[in-house]
Amino acid sequence: MSIEARLQLQQGNFELDVTLDLPGSGVSALFGRSGSGKTTILRCLAGLERHAGIDLRVNGEIWQSQQHFVPVHQRPLGYVFQEASLFPHLMVAKNLEFGYRRLPPAQRKVALDETISLMGLETLLARYPQQLSGGQRQRVAMARALLTSPRLLLMDEPMAALDQRSKAEILPYLERLHQHLAIPIIYVSHAIHEVCRLADYLVLLEQGKVQAQGPLQQLLTQPDLPLAQDADAASMLLATVLQHTADEMSELQLPDGQRLLISRLQLAEGQNVRTRILARDVAISLVQPQFSSVNNCLRVELEQIEADPHPGHQLLLLRLAGQPLLARLSRRSVSRLQLQPGQQLFAQIKAVALD
């Protein structure tokens, strides 16, 4: 199962020239600056661009080639835009039914009630779109897209038009979508913390070209890529909620059994969780410190020491419980501790620095 695309086209002065090989499940994020070609790629996938240079195959099925073109309305996909385009004269329930009833029952793969509950819309069904907040409107738009039983869901910065509060409100629904549905999602964003929460696979775009593509954890921490070179470089760790403590902390378990303390999360025990760690919030110690305020002291292996854009800093690529972890240290600390690839070390991470 995969999405293979070879997209070459010219739009005014802009040239798109990309080869994509995206997994057929999970969330793939297209990430890049404004004008790097993210929306143009979605338009190609949706069948809104008809050019000779487009070859597209979704899970083995040809959607577009020199000889073949599946038109927009025959592509089984859902499209969620920056601004929800709901029918203003129809209540939420009718907006949802619109997509749902278009398909004959035998072709429906997504249930109406289940989708309403997944997107938390139970209490909004009798409202009109103008009676909803921006975040609520986007949840309806997502549910409506899902109810067409798409085989591919395209999302073009679905949170871009929302304020911080609405973004925080809608993110858990997007996470639920990701966890509960098998439909592959292609998610456009230029907010890396959003990508860290949602994506499994990442495509980095720069002026119409692919700079790199691969699993999210790997691309975030690859020292020669711009994400690791950024002042806010961060790693993402996958863990499970082990327990909550009486003093308002949550204890997470990493795949190798090591534990990570974090400020209390509103998640059930046993639930999978992602945590983002800024490279500058990781300190290194040769031995396990005994008298430190830092709650987390984890066994890691040093894999690589690389240059940093700041001449006084260096980037360390570490391995923690089989996952990559980035640390930014001063050049002075690296030399004082005589750090070398292959060493077994301790990474200290303040619990309050994790989100």
Ligand X SMILES: Nc1ncnc2c1ncn2[C@@H]1O[C@H](COP(=O)(O)OP(=O)(O)OP(=O)(O)O)[C@@H](O)[C@H]1O
Distance, in Å, from the CA atom of 236 to the CA atom of 252, rounded to the nearest integer, reads 14
Q: Are 297 and 347 in contact (CB under 8 A)?
A: yes
Helix (H, G, I), strand (E, B) or coil at 140: helix
- Per-residue DSSP letters for 54-114? EEEEETTEEEE-SS-B--GGGS-EEEE-SS----TTS-HHHHHHHHHHHS-GGG--S-HHH
Binding to ligand X (CB under 6 A) within 239-258 occurs at none
How many C-beta atoms lie closer than 10 Å to residue 287's C-beta? 8
Give CA angle at 244 (238, 249), nearest 5°.
85
CA–CA distances in Å: residue 189 to residues 9, 70, 256: 22, 27, 32
Minimum distance from residue 332 beta carbon to ligand X (Å):
39
If we measure between CA atoms, which residue out of 156, 153, 210, 212 comes closest to residue 183? 153
Of 28-36, 111-119, 140-148, 196-204, the segment contacting ligand X by CB under 6 A is: 28-36
Of 29-37, 210-218, 240-248, 283-291, the segment contacting ligand X by CB under 6 A is: 29-37
Minimum distance from residue 35 beta carbon to ligand X (Å):
4
Minimum distance from residue 31 beta carbon to ligand X (Å):
9
CB contact set of 114 (below 8 Å; sequence gap of 6+): none
- For residues 81 and 201, which CB has a smaller minimum distance to ligand X in the complex? 81
Minimum distance from residue 37 beta carbon to ligand X (Å):
4
Of 10-18, 21-29, 226-234, 291-299, the segment contacting ligand X by CB under 6 A is: 10-18
Structure tokens at 69: 């073109």
Minimum distance from residue 221 beta carbon to ligand X (Å):
24
Select from 14, 230, 255, 264 the one that contacts ligand X (CB under 6 A).
14
Q: Establish if 11 lies at the interface with ligand X (CB under 6 A).
A: yes
The continuous run of DSSP H or E covering 16 comes out as strand 14-23
Structure tokens at 167: 């973004």
- For residues 7 and 153, which CB has a smaller minimum distance to ligand X in the complex? 7
Strand ranges across the sheet with 259-263? 259-263, 249-253, 234-244, 272-278
If we measure between CA atoms, which residue out of 205, 193, 148, 178 comes closest to residue 25? 178
Q: Are 322 and 232 in contact (CB under 8 A)?
A: no
Q: Establish if 272 lies at the interface with ligand X (CB under 6 A).
A: no
Binding to ligand X (CB under 6 A) within 36-75 occurs at 36-40
- For residues 55 and 157, which CB has a smaller minimum distance to ligand X in the complex? 157
Minimum distance from residue 208 beta carbon to ligand X (Å):
7
Minimum distance from residue 355 beta carbon to ligand X (Å):
24
Minimum distance from residue 65 beta carbon to ligand X (Å):
22
Of 27-35, 65-73, 176-184, 305-313, the segment contacting ligand X by CB under 6 A is: 27-35
Select from 109, 190, 274, 350 the one that contacts ligand X (CB under 6 A).
190
Of 30-38, 176-184, 275-283, 289-297, the segment contacting ligand X by CB under 6 A is: 30-38
Select from 27, 32, 75, 167 the one that contacts ligand X (CB under 6 A).
32
Bridge partner residues of 261 (DSSP)? 251
If we measure between CA atoms, which residue out of 143, 138, 176 comes closest to residue 159? 138
Q: Establish if 189 lies at the interface with ligand X (CB under 6 A).
A: no
- For residues 35 and 172, which CB has a smaller minimum distance to ligand X in the complex? 35
Minimum distance from residue 36 beta carbon to ligand X (Å):
4
- For residues 44 and 347, which CB has a smaller minimum distance to ligand X in the complex? 44
Contact positions vs ligand X (CB under 6 A): 11-12, 14, 32, 34-40, 190
